Structure 1
Amino acid sequence: MINFNADKTLNAAATFWFLVAVLGQWIFVIYIAAFYGSAAVGGNFEKWNKVLPNGYVDGDPIYNLALATHLSLAFTMHFFGPLQLIPQLRSYAPTFHRWNGRIYIATAFIISLAGLYLTWTKVPFGGDRINITINAIAIMVCAAMAYRYARAYNFKAHRRWAIRLFLVVAGVWFFRIGLMFWLAVNKGPVGFDMQSFQGPFLTFLGLAQTFLPLAVLELYFRAQDSSISIAKWFVSIIIFLFTIMMGIGIFAASMAMWIPRI
């Protein structure tokens, strides 16, 4: 009975995290479509510069195309990505799952390459090229591994790499909600300068956007494979706490950045 309750709690914690994450990502998707999409449809690309320090650049069509590709694919990744992780959809619509997965993996490579081009041709706000590059490489590695294990019909390994891909693809999203969580709990910037957008906290957050979600996921996988109830309870608590922090960040980001621009 104890083992059953521990397993049930661990599954509940993971489900709770997934639902909150999907809600937050779909709010982000609506924002991308409403702000960037509407500006593009209306031909008002300069509007992007109200949000992006290195947004639309007059006279640089290659850069602008890369940016438009990156934004449009971000919409695709954050909207369709969560659908890959719904087990009922995998069971009842396997054809959709396979084709959506192929598109998702191909998109992951394209969005990473576009992101690298944008990062290394224009200095990003705060100059954090290294952490952005690390995230892009992590996306491509996870995408390649997910594809490899799917082709090998090793679906347990494929599923785990697909979840890792889902997390690292959301690196920019994690950065935003992590920043807004930090600003909300501290009632202002602590550990960095808002004008230059540099400081030790942002350096930490730049690494955390990729590695912190992966670390929590690895704890979840180990607890899932373990027969020790206390390990399952411990990881469940970590996931619940991580979800609450994520929820605060999502709410703060939605109210301060996304919803006002929709």
Structure 2
Amino acid sequence: MTTTTTISPSKEATTSTATRILTIAATVWLVVATVGQWIFGLYILLSYGKATLMGDFERWNQVLSHSYVEGDWKGNTVVGIHILLAAVLVIGGPLQLMPFIRQTFPRFHRWLGRTYVTTAIVVSSAGLLMVWTRGSIGDLTQQISISLQAIYIISFALLAIRSARARRFDQHRVWALRLFMVVNGVWFFRVGLMGWLLINGGPVGFDPETFTGPFLTALAVFTYAIPASLLVLELYFYAQKKPDNVFRLITAALIFLCTVIMAIGIFGATMGMWLPRI
């Protein structure tokens, strides 16, 4: 005996609508994130690049404390490479996620992907070295949290490489997206901080002099140690697989909300941090 299962046209239409809304939410998020990351990349190149070309290395310390130490050419070289490669990540990362690039320029996509994962490993390793040898602003919780992020980055990069070499491209896509989220932890932190300052009209919940306080501790934990961006991504993956239209719509609404918050932070960071220092 055989059983035939039919799906009503109305249910099919509902499923199609929910899937389309979820896709639109993810696309809008990527567009806003791309704009914000490219502005940040431009800031890195123009601000730090200009200071380097002019020999004004002390200017590095305006944002990254202890990034330049006079006489320590080895450490300064590590910091300089870290900053330069960070620009590669924020500019190249969004390009890797664009279907048009993957489909039209597959060779470019592969070479950029190799560059991206290698750069991610180098930058995270250098960042880990900087945190524990040169110190950084913030408390111990922030330092531990950002160190955990470095471990995530290295692990996800290696898993993305392994799945690509095994030609398991579905798994590669998943690990590449996870890598993208954790690689941009510092960017999410800055955007979150500037959005908070913009909404509150100034520092609330932390001391701007010591860069410590409950807000910054929570922001570091949920940006680096337990990345909220990664949690939302996992919900998106689950919503794509789960045949539940309500869950897809809820996930899409959450992504739209994250996009609005991110856009506020990007605006605040652009106007309050990046453009004034270019």
Range of TM-score over shorter length? over 0.9
Shift of 1:82: 1.0
Corresponding residue for residue 264 of structure 2: 248
Q: Which residue identity lines up with residue 5 of structure 1 in the other structure?
A: T
Superposition map of 1:70-89 within 5 A: 70-89=82-101
Corresponding residue for residue 214 of structure 2: 200
CA deviations over 1:6-46 (Å, ceiling 9, x no partner): 00000000000000000000000110011100111122212
CA–CA distance in structure 2, aligned partners of residues 42 and 95 of structure 1: 37
CA–CA distance in structure 2, aligned partners of residues 50 and 149 of structure 1: 40
Shift of 1:152: 1.1
Identity over the aligned pairs, expressed in percent? 49
Deviates more, 1:187-196 or 1:237-246: 187-196
The answer to whether the aligner puts 1:116 opposite 2:128 as a matched pair is: yes
Corresponding residue for residue 223 of structure 1: 239
CA–CA distance in structure 2, aligned partners of residues 137 and 175 of structure 1: 17
Secondary structure, counterpart of 1:113 in structure 2: helix
The answer to whether the aligner puts 1:26 opposite 2:26 as a matched pair is: no
The answer to whether the aligner puts 1:154 opposite 2:174 as a matched pair is: no
Deviates more, 1:160-169 or 1:49-58: 49-58
Residue of 110, 113, 135 corresponding to 1:98: 110
The answer to whether the aligner puts 1:168 opposite 2:220 as a matched pair is: no
Q: What TM-score results when the alignment is normalised by the length of structure 1?
A: 0.98
CA–CA distance in structure 2, aligned partners of residues 97 and 55 of structure 1: 32
CA–CA distance in structure 1, aligned partners of residues 162 and 230 of structure 2: 19
CA–CA distance in structure 2, aligned partners of residues 207 and 73 of structure 1: 24
Q: What TM-score results when the alignment is normalised by the length of structure 2?
A: 0.92
Shift of 1:214: 0.1
Shift of 1:192: 1.3
Q: Which has the larger radius of gyration?
A: 2
> Which runs of no fewer than 5 residues in structure 1 stay unpaired?
none
The answer to whether the aligner puts 1:259 opposite 2:271 as a matched pair is: no
Residue of 239, 255, 267 corresponding to 1:239: 255
CA deviations over 1:220-252 (Å, ceiling 9, x no partner): 000011111001100000000000000000000
CA–CA distance in structure 2, aligned partners of residues 178 and 195 of structure 1: 18
Shift of 1:208: 1.5
